[in-house]
Amino acid sequence: MGAVTARDLARHLGVSQSMVSRAFSPGASVAPAMRARILRAAEELGYRPNVIASALSRRRSSLVGIVMAELTNPFYPAVLEQLNAALREAGFQSLLITIPPGGSADDALPMLRQYHVDAVVLTSASLSSASASHWLGDGRAAVLFNRTAIGPTRLDSVACDNVGGGRMAAEALLAHGCRNPAFVAGRADTSTSHDRERGFRAALAGHGLTPLRIEAGDFSYEAGHRAARALGGADGVFFANDILALGGLDALRHEMGRRVPDEVAVIGFDDIPMGAWPAYRLTTLRQPVPEMIDRTIGLLRARLGGDDAPPRAERLPASLLRRGSL
């Protein structure tokens, strides 16, 4: 490993290794001229601080674990890409953990702990509150992304206002003239599906309506496709997310021969790229992903900076994106 070390560089310059180290730590006590000299020499000799050694010594790795469960839902790759970019910009590097369907993030935490990850961002994965508080125990941070804590936890979360989104879906269907609305639920143990349904029901109840409820059981195209068969005479359907909605749309149009939106209006949630394709033109509730990511980074920074305030639940508004399915 011919890598240049801080010592090599120090010897080359006739200074101490400490100075090299300090030249690379913002805010350390180094004369500007010295820092410049060191940085220039580092450039020449190709020295770059060894992050591993640094992590060992500082007890901070600049690694952030991203826990993802549903990479097959196109919403998440998009999140992953943006989140990864944002983390990098914030000076972190992402360690990716994917959870097998139905698995819990609990299993992943020990591994992340071993890697001395500074923080975790949990998307679409459940976490027992036991491991959560264990995790938070020692200066580590954790943020739930697109999930809210179930039960009493000390976990921060960032999500869009799913309840409000559900309400908007209801209003849009009502305005379109629907009288027989239906809701297709996704995985039962997710706060997103719950909250969206809650808002939807509440708004409908205000008009004396109760939606037909169908359990898709899962957030997948196939589940949406199957669920659509149980729709009966519904004239408007709110799917818990877009991937379900696309499956539903295909079933409604190609298998059941129903015209959308004339006979059935369809609305989804997330705004995944495929929803915009001409074959679908899905009307949906857009999640403000970039803003959500900003908040996430903000929370991480604050927590790692020692912020001890009670857990925050950031809620960002969804917005109705009208296309052709409603």
Q: Does 55 bind its own copies (CB under 8 A)?
A: yes
Q: Which amino acid is at 109?
A: L
DSSP string, 42-104: HHHHT----HHHHHHHHT---EEEEEES-TTSTHHHHHHHHHHHHHHHTT-EEEEEEPPTT--
End-to-end CA distance of the chain: 62
- In the list its own copies, DNA, none, the entry touching 58 (Cβ below 5 to 8 angstroms by class) is DNA
Summarize as ranges the residues that interact with DNA (CB under 7 A). Answer: 1, 3, 5-7, 14-19, 21-22, 24-25, 28-34, 47-50, 53-54, 56-59
Binding mask 103-132 for its own copies (x = CB under 8 A): -------xx-xxxx----------------
Count the Cβ atoms, other than its own, within 10 Å of residue 111: 12
> What is the size of the binding site for its own copies (CB under 8 A)?
56
Q: Does 25 bind its own copies (CB under 8 A)?
A: no
Which residue, 160 or 228, has its beta carbon nearer to its own copies? 228
- Quote the CA–CA distance of 186 and 192 in Å, as a whole number: 9
Q: Which two tokens stand for residue 57?
A: 């010594």
Which residue, 11 or 59, has its beta carbon nearer to its own copies? 59
- In the list DNA, its own copies, none, the entry touching 246 (Cβ below 5 to 8 angstroms by class) is its own copies
| Cβ 21 to DNA shortest distance, Å | 3
DSSP string, 168-230: HHHHHHHHTT-SSEEEEE--TT-HHHHHHHHHHHHHHHTTT---EEEE--SSSHHHHHHHHGG
- State which of residues 36, 50, 154, 233 lies at the interface with its own copies (CB under 8 A): 50
DSSP string, 224-240: HHHHHGGGTT-SEEEES
- In the list DNA, its own copies, none, the entry touching 179 (Cβ below 5 to 8 angstroms by class) is none
Q: Which residues bind its own copies (CB under 8 A)?
A: 1-3, 48-53, 55-56, 59, 61, 66, 71-72, 74, 76-78, 80-81, 84-85, 93-98, 100, 110-111, 113-116, 137-139, 221, 225, 246-247, 249-251, 253-255, 273-274, 277-280
